[in-house]
Structure 1
Amino acid sequence: MKAIPVLLFASTLLSFMPVAHAAEEGISVTATGTVKVMPDMAVFDVVVQSSDKDAGKATSKTAETVAVLQKSLRSAGIPAADATTAGYSVSPEWSWSSGKSTLRGYIARHVIRVSVRELRLAGAAVDAAVQSGAGEVGQIRFVPSRYENLRKDALDLAVRNARADADVIARAAGGKLGALIELNSGQSSRAPMYQMEEATLMKAAPAAPPTEITPGEQEISVTVQSRWRFATQSMK
């Protein structure tokens, strides 16, 4: 796997909160650690659904289209292990008239989640899904394969930045930084979604130009809230 370039950034929100009793004096710091990275994976869902008055026929139609889809994905370089079922349902379809419901038939819906581990294949994978007759190609999510490690890097940066800035505040206020009182981590940022154009969702003609998909740089951010004791310098 190719190395992923990473840039680290940090931002901090600071406050100094002295109170009546020295033991309760504290410094609060909110800091954010950010890792910038180029994603090396793409994930998207393909929806195949068919309807028929007979539930069995609806499921058969959907199964046939899914078989064509899987074959097309193999040809596009996507292994079977990276095109798996994310959801499946068979539900009745009703029509309403004059306040009454009538059973029209059944809808069989199969959702295939496609993971593209080589981004150069992302466009071909989307084209394969569209040309196979899939009813819908969902949003594409670009993700780095090392997301969890990068999230921890951002968390580490946020904590170190919080401590460093709390120390600066304490010294500037004429004291020194005491022990950590409280430390909380907020929710990490999520990888952004790429919205497919409506035209891409329609069945493409065989001569249509290949879909080009190029991700941009992403940011993985983690924010921490910390509170530290403030120790006043002893009088001489």
Structure 2
Amino acid sequence: MSTASLSVVLVRARNPLNVGAAARAMSNFGVSDLRLVGEYLQPLEAARSAIDAAPVLAAAQTFGNVAEAVADCSLVYGTTALGERDLQHPVDLLRDAAPRVRAAQDRVALLFGSEKTGLSNDELSYCHRLLTIPMARGGVSMNLGQAVAVCLYELHREAPAQRTLPEAPASAKGEDLQRFESLLRETLAAAEYDRRFPGNMGANEMRELVRRLALTSADTTVWMGMLRQVLWKLRQPSRSRE
């Protein structure tokens, strides 16, 4: 399944901030088909200023009922916080629903209910399955915008990264670490800190300590520059105060 064949359907959403947050999450994860069900158009109009969500909101469609909104979908997942409702559908944890959604060959719809009541029994009747986001004990429900973001992240997280990840910095070489250890020893001696613990640690302990720092090549250069400055300052002749 490509993101082009995934539809996010917000049923009876009333808070424009939630609609805007949902649209922004869709934009972040490459989903563009937003569908709103309900008689209230105010949330859509008021949400059009949501940051980075303009294209999604501009293309959003409104429907009078769920049947119209999912008419072209072969798999419809409804979201639920479970609660004490007697559910007549198979319920998947989000992590288990994700593979089913990704494996679908035709259009898939994710239904999210209103902020206060969730999906009604009538709206749930259009769903093939339900999914729920695992929460800590005591968690009642999740904010609509957050729920959309979490669901889309789970669906998208196995996709190849769209941006080039930065390369890991080069680790310091052994010869660089040896020079660093030598300079550190020299600085400790100038400060007379090598006469007591832990400044008087043995060579093996010092070597192990430095390697636990996991310094990069660039970090080693910076630290040696600072140690040289400290060493230079320690070796300056003291000036008597007048």
- Fold conserved between structures, TM > 0.5: no
TM-score by length of 1: 0.18
Larger RCO, structure (CA 8 Å, separation 6 or more): 1
TM-score by length of 2: 0.18
The answer to which structure has the higher helix fraction is 2
The answer to which structure has the higher strand fraction is 1
